[in-house]
Chains A and B, each alone.
Chain A
Amino acid sequence: MPRLPALFAIVLALATGSLRAADDYDYDLVHSSVGFKARFLDISWIQGRFNDVSGKFSLDRQDPSKSTFSLTIKADSVDTANAARDEHLRQPDYFDTKQFPTIEFRSTAVKAIPDGYEVTGNFTMHGITKPVTITLVGGKEIEAMGKKRVGFGTELKLKRSDFNFDKGQIGNIGDEAIIVIDCAGQRD
């Protein structure tokens, strides 16, 4: 009888070992960026980025459907290279960063595609959560600077009106915004 728990432990260890096929990566803030652009008067683009981003992704190369991706953007870190405009964007007419401090993405389903992954998840911005599907291009792991690294890139088109942004402010700045994510992950 005393052998039973030991056997159970061995089976459990083997089972969890097979479950732990996924590699967990931390978001590499130094080598990643989350940018955005929106049309200005429908003649040009206003571009900007978010400087404070964090995230994690877990890649299961044997079974990609078990992979997960999450990204948290501090809306307050918006940076369009113009301090006055950044202050304006933080106010309730736009991001309302005091009320909605983060922009988040949490994956719900992952599918492998030839150049990367098709990721479906919930995108939360301005207090509204909507399902989106993005194509992450990349995923090749390399070892550099003492860490294992992997990178992805994607573009996401959103309508600000879908996320309850003030409709009165949609005009000069177009409704559609393109979010460009280039993120690198690292693990020991």
Chain B
Amino acid sequence: MVVRAVLGAFAVAAALGAVGAGISRREPALAAVAVIVAFVWGVVAGLFLLRAIPSLPPTTALDRFLVILLPVALAIEAEAAAHWLGGFWLTAERGCVALVAVPVLLHGSVWLEGGGPALAILAAALFFWASWEATTGEVRASDDRVVAGVTVLAIVVAGLSIAMAGWLKGGLVALPLAGALAGALAAEWGGSRAAGGSLGRDGGGHAPSGLPGLTAAGLVALFGLVVVGRCFGRLSSAAALLILLVPLVAVVPAAIGRGLPGSAAGRLLCSASYRILLAVVPLVIVLWGAKADFDTRLGRLLGAAPAAARPHPVSARPVSPRPELQAVPAFEFGRDRLGGQVPPVERGDVWNVGGKQAAENDPPARCEPAAELVGMRSEHRGDDVGEDEVVEWVRGKLGEGG
């Protein structure tokens, strides 16, 4: 389903972008708007295929990101692409969106109780605004696709990190966003190859282009995902910051690189290579950290699932609330200490669910020890029952039986 959603988002965005750009080739502004609209439809298709259509009215942060923040930002970028507004008004609009973005995403949550962390929200807004202006300005000036490319990568890494930290839906939503952005960028690139420059640009450098709009769309998508992943999921602050810095890492050396000596093509290749490398390094670090966290926490939990489904003695609810004993099923250590007196467990036994459930699933004789242990747990409910007590109890029961 995820692969289908990503491919669907890519295909729809690429196809609509190509068609739209082709139809409106003589109208640079329309061509630029067409690729942004194609991105929108790519996202819609991807979310539909992922069965992650946001609810209306939006009640969660993810819904508000997809229904409010992203469309408003895309509308501003469409205005910019069509040159409907001047530079000052665009900057002001972006500033307003950046200022309200975090409060909108955190609306109604515990984060905004008592006014919320105003300084942190203001800092995030300023960072968002500065990144937005810097990247779109740089891309508009240089027709640079590297920034948009690494933003796609950053969105993918953000999504994977959020998913591995435990918020599956929040993470997976990022993937069709990245797919749609890649599709729209491919359409823009194809259209620009056909037109002999950046799509919508007439060679004079003054006509609108779809590339800054798509780069900004990616940046807004990345910012929204990282904020909701950090505030509602378990994305760490360090990972969030590293991911958000990636597009800037790609922008800053590009601005410096233009002053380097050598041919234009050589400078472009050299600049693109080291910027991609600079951007990939933090993303790899973030991904590695997310994987390590997954392995130590959720991976263990998910890895335990087949074991729990396997016949296994009293393990769903630990006998002892003491952390050091929680992972040790009572019957397991009881078996070792009792010298194998406990009957072996076979497939189909449901030892971990209590006597009633076990009796429903298994022959009574086989369930008996588990039921007795459950009985012991109910006798000692709320007590700090440890290994010694369990072993002693089982010994007593076996002695009675014998």
Write the residues of chain A forming the contact surface with B, with a CB cutoff of 8 angstroms.
40-41, 43-47, 81-82, 84-85, 87-88, 91-93, 96-99, 101, 127, 164, 166-169, 172
Instruction: Known A41-B309, A91-B233, A92-B233; judge A168-B59 contact (CB<8 A).
Output: no
A44 touching B232 by the CB < 8 A rule? Answer: no
What residue of chain A has the Cβ atom nearest to residue B62's Cβ? Answer: A92
B168 at the interface (CB under 8 A from A): yes
What 15 new A-B contacts, CB under 8 Å, besides A88-B298, A92-B62?
A44-B316, A44-B352, A44-B353, A88-B301, A92-B167, A92-B169, A92-B232, A93-B167, A96-B232, A99-B232, A101-B109, A101-B110, A168-B51, A168-B52, A169-B169
A168 touching B168 by the CB < 8 A rule? Answer: yes
Instruction: Known A44-B352, A84-B297; judge A98-B316 contact (CB<8 A).
Output: no
B375 at the interface (CB under 8 A from A): no
B55 touching A164 by the CB < 8 A rule? Answer: yes
What residue of chain A has the Cβ atom nearest to residue B352's Cβ? Answer: A44
B134-171 interface mask toward A, CB cutoff 8 Å, 1 = contact, 0 = none?
00000000000000000000000000000001111110
B109 touching A44 by the CB < 8 A rule? Answer: no
B277-299 interface mask toward A, CB cutoff 8 Å, 1 = contact, 0 = none?
00000000000000000000110
Query: In angstroms, how far is the closest chain B Cβ from the Cβ of A78?
Result: 13
What residue of chain B has the Cβ atom nearest to residue A48's Cβ? Answer: B317
Instruction: Known A44-B350, A81-B318; judge A98-B326 contact (CB<8 A).
Output: no
B61 touching A92 by the CB < 8 A rule? Answer: yes
List 16 A–B pairs whose Cβ atoms lie within 8 Å, in order of A's numbering. A41-B309, A43-B309, A81-B318, A82-B301, A85-B301, A87-B234, A91-B165, A91-B233, A92-B167, A93-B166, A98-B111, A98-B231, A164-B55, A164-B59, A168-B169, A169-B168
A96 touching B301 by the CB < 8 A rule? Answer: no
Which residues of B199-237 have CB atoms within 8 Å of chain A's CB atoms? 231-234
Query: In angstroms, how far is the closest chain B Cβ from the Cβ of A165?
Result: 11
A45 touching B297 by the CB < 8 A rule? Answer: no
B308 at the interface (CB under 8 A from A): yes
Q: Which residues of A contact B59 (CB under 8 A)?
A: 99, 127, 164
Q: Which residues of A contact B352 (CB under 8 A)?
A: 44
A168 to B309, CA, bound (A): 21
Q: Which residues of B contact A85 (CB under 8 A)?
A: 301
What residue of chain B has the Cβ atom nearest to residue A99's Cβ? Answer: B109
A172 to B168, CA, bound (A): 14
B347-366 interface mask toward A, CB cutoff 8 Å, 1 = contact, 0 = none?
00010111001000100000
B353 touching A99 by the CB < 8 A rule? Answer: no
What residue of chain B has the Cβ atom nearest to residue A101's Cβ? Answer: B110
A45 to B351, CA, bound (A): 11
Q: Which residues of A contact B52 (CB under 8 A)?
A: 168
Most buried by A among B51, B60, B300: B60
Q: Which 4 A-B residue pairings sit nearest by Cβ, starting from the closest?
A: A44-B353, A84-B297, A88-B166, A91-B167
A99 to B62, CA, bound (A): 11
A92 touching B170 by the CB < 8 A rule? Answer: yes
Instruction: Known A46-B316, A168-B169; judge A91-B308 contact (CB<8 A).
Output: no
A99 touching B301 by the CB < 8 A rule? Answer: no
Q: Which residues of A contact B51 (CB under 8 A)?
A: 167-168
A166 touching B169 by the CB < 8 A rule? Answer: yes
A140 to B300, CA, bound (A): 46
Q: Which residues of A contact B109 (CB under 8 A)?
A: 98-99, 101
Q: Which residues of B contact A98 (CB under 8 A)?
A: 109-111, 231-232
Which residues of B155-203 have CB atoms within 8 Å of chain A's CB atoms? 165-170
Q: Which residues of A contact B357 (CB under 8 A)?
A: 44-45
A188 to B394, CA, bound (A): 45
B302-318 interface mask toward A, CB cutoff 8 Å, 1 = contact, 0 = none?
00010011000000111
B108 at the interface (CB under 8 A from A): yes
Instruction: Known A81-B321, A169-B168; judge A99-B316 contact (CB<8 A).
Output: no
A50 to B194, CA, bound (A): 62
A166 to B108, CA, bound (A): 19
Query: In angstroms, how far is the closest chain A Cβ from the Cβ of B375?
Result: 17
Q: Which residues of A contact B61 (CB under 8 A)?
A: 92, 99
B168 touching A84 by the CB < 8 A rule? Answer: no
A46 to B52, CA, bound (A): 26
Residue in B232, B297, B317 whose CB lies within 8 Å of A81: B317
A88 to B55, CA, bound (A): 22
A130 to B294, CA, bound (A): 36
What residue of chain B has the Cβ atom nearest to residue A80's Cβ? Answer: B317
Q: Which residues of A contact B300 (CB under 8 A)?
A: 84
B316 touching A172 by the CB < 8 A rule? Answer: no
B60 touching A87 by the CB < 8 A rule? Answer: no
Q: Which residues of A contact B361 (CB under 8 A)?
A: 43
A43 to B309, CA, bound (A): 7
Query: In angstroms, how far is the closest chain B Cβ from the Cβ of A82?
Result: 7
A81 to B320, CA, bound (A): 9
Q: Which residues of B contact A172 (CB under 8 A)?
A: 305
Most buried by B among A84, A92, A166, A169: A92
Instruction: Known A92-B232, A99-B108; judge A47-B60 contact (CB<8 A).
Output: no
A84 to B304, CA, bound (A): 12
